[in-house]
């Protein structure tokens, strides 16, 4: 005699629905737990929101040619723990000496970059060794690739600061007078040579 559950289609659908519901509940619980562990690691439940400023331990690397995101390594690239700062995250760094401050994009990962550590790419291995390990401030401008997590006010403020610095350091030039077109002297050789070539 076949099992009782296989006789009725409605019983089969009920069992399948319960199984799917159980899987969804298990998935939601595991996702919630992983988000809580990330928040616990960062020390602030709102730490995943753009604009959050955190303290990180910074190191530097100079080896490799391709990042985990598939791009070439270059200045402005950083490696981080993808559980805390996923690929595509844009951060602003503040260092004690101000030398390596600026905007970095997390495009790389690594086995030594776990927890609250950020690894900055430097072209010179000597410079990377001199950088060593230091505490830095990290302001999250965008978390991951999602532009909805960006904080426009921070990006606007950074742009305004850079623009003000550029204006302050560029030499001041005299205002240009409006021009009505190219000027030629009244007795120009250009007209005579043009006339002689036409003859």
Q: Each residue of 45-68: pLDDT tens digit? A: 344 455 778 899 999 999 989 999
Query: What pLDDT digit, counting tens, does each position of 76-134 carry?
Result: 999 999 888 889 999 999 998 888 999 999 999 999 898 899 999 999 999 999 999 99
Question: What is the per-residue pLDDT for 14?
Answer: 82
Domain boundary among 156, 173, 193: 156
Residue 88, SS3 per DSSP: coil
Give the N- to C-terminal CA distance of the chain in Å, as an integer: 114
Question: What is the per-residue pLDDT for 11?
Answer: 81
Question: What is the per-residue pLDDT for 189?
Answer: 46
Domain boundary among 141, 156, 171: 156
> Is beta strand 53-61 parallel, antiparallel or unpaired with respect to 117-121?
parallel
Question: What is the per-residue pLDDT for 60?
Answer: 95
The domain of 27 spans: 4-42
Looking at the domain assignment, is residue 31 inside a domain? yes
CA distance linking residue 56 with residue 37, whole number of Å: 17
pLDDT at 183 over 90: no
Looking at the domain assignment, is residue 165 inside a domain? no
pLDDT at 39 over 90: no
């Amino acid at each position: 005699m076949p099992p009782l559950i296989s006789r009725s289609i409605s019983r089969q659908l009920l069992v399948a629905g319960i199984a799917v519901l159980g899987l969804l509940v298990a998935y939601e619980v595991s996702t919630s737990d992983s988000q809580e562990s990330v928040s616990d690691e960062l020390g602030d439940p709102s730490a995943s929101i753009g604009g959050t400023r955190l303290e990180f331990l910074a190191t530097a690397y100079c080896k490799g040619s391709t990042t985990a995101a598939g791009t070439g390594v270059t200045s402005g690239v950083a490696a981080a723990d993808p559980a805390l700062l996923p690929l595509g995250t844009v951060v602003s760094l503040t260092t004690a000496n101000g030398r390596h401050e600026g905007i970095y994009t997390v495009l790389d990962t690594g086995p030594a970059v776990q927890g609250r550590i950020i690894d900055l790419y430097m072209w010179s291995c000597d410079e990377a060794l001199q950088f060593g390990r230091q505490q830095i401030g990290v302001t999250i401008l965008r978390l991951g690739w999602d532009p909805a997590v960006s904080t426009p006010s921070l990006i606007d403020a950074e742009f305004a600061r850079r623009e003000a610095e550029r204006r302050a350091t560029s030499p001041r030039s005299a205002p240009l007078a409006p021009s009505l077109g190219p000027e030629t002297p009244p007795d120009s050789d250009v007209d005579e040579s043009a006339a002689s070539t036409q003859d």
